[in-house]
Structure 1
């Protein structure tokens, strides 16, 4: 988690983003890959498509998978916004949101399936 929090702070005032790699079967994150927010925004994020493809290929070559995404909320709570819900690309993914609202990284994790938000726990190794 330390690496994720540092990335969120480093990207401030823009939203940070990145991909979580590991085992979807066990909800275990083995690697965090920070990515560029091509939206360059404090309100939305877009993961660099080239980075996403490279990370996905590297994960597959290592017998792992992309199991989720992280992004930061710079001024709001760590809860999926309507934009986050609308843009949730994969119902099997974990969606970690890190708020910086109080000046320190505070993460929460969710699944978004058919626009239904459920808070979940994941193991970060």
Structure 2
């Protein structure tokens, strides 16, 4: 199960809407081993495409160096689909290289034409390991509790 704070959820959805009609992409970083997504890092879609995303190589390396220095890891890797459901494509599956990450997809196929659109969005999370896709429940919380329980 992915447990994510409302602020991070909102930031991912806002990024997906802002970059539409191109796919948006980014990472939510958290303390290493915590499985707790804390810091949303919107990334540039170097492909600038409505059907494909690619992290900019220099930005990706810079982020990984920063995470290494801070004992952090990519807890969530997210991107949007602009005309299809929020489900990993064959390309998404073949390029998934972080077996511990939650892969979040947000579909902007409905309502993305307006930044003020506040209707429902399709926000789904998956684990992708060795080409196998497993959908998982998403629980949005106001804030993480201090005890580590949510």
- TM-score, scaled to structure 2: 0.75
| Between 14-23 and 57-66, the greater mean CA deviation after superposition | 57-66
Alignment length (residue pairs): 125
Structure 2 residue 126 is matched with structure 1 residue 118: no
CA distance in 1, matches of 2:71, 2:129: 25
Please say which structure displays the higher CA radius of gyration: 2
* Aligned with residue 63 of structure 1, among 56, 59, 71: 71
The match for 1:43 is 51
CA distance in 2, matches of 1:105, 1:57: 33
Q: CA deviation at 1:62?
A: 2.1
Gaps of 5+ in 2: 1-8, 112-119, 144-150
1:23-66 Cα deviation digits (max 9, x unpaired): 46342101110011011110010011111111122222222112
- TM-score, scaled to structure 1: 0.89
* Aligned with residue 100 of structure 1, among 91, 103, 108: 108
CA distance in 1, matches of 2:134, 2:10: 24
* Aligned with residue 93 of structure 2, among 75, 85, 95: 85
CA distance in 1, matches of 2:139, 2:67: 18
| Between 34-43 and 85-94, the greater mean CA deviation after superposition | 85-94
CA RMSD of aligned residues (A): 1.9
The match for 2:17 is 9
Matches for 1:27-38 after TM superposition, within 5 Å? 27-38=35-46
Matched position secondary structure for 1:8: helix
| Between 31-40 and 97-106, the greater mean CA deviation after superposition | 97-106
Matched position secondary structure for 1:6: helix
Matched position secondary structure for 2:17: helix
Gaps of 5+ in 1: none
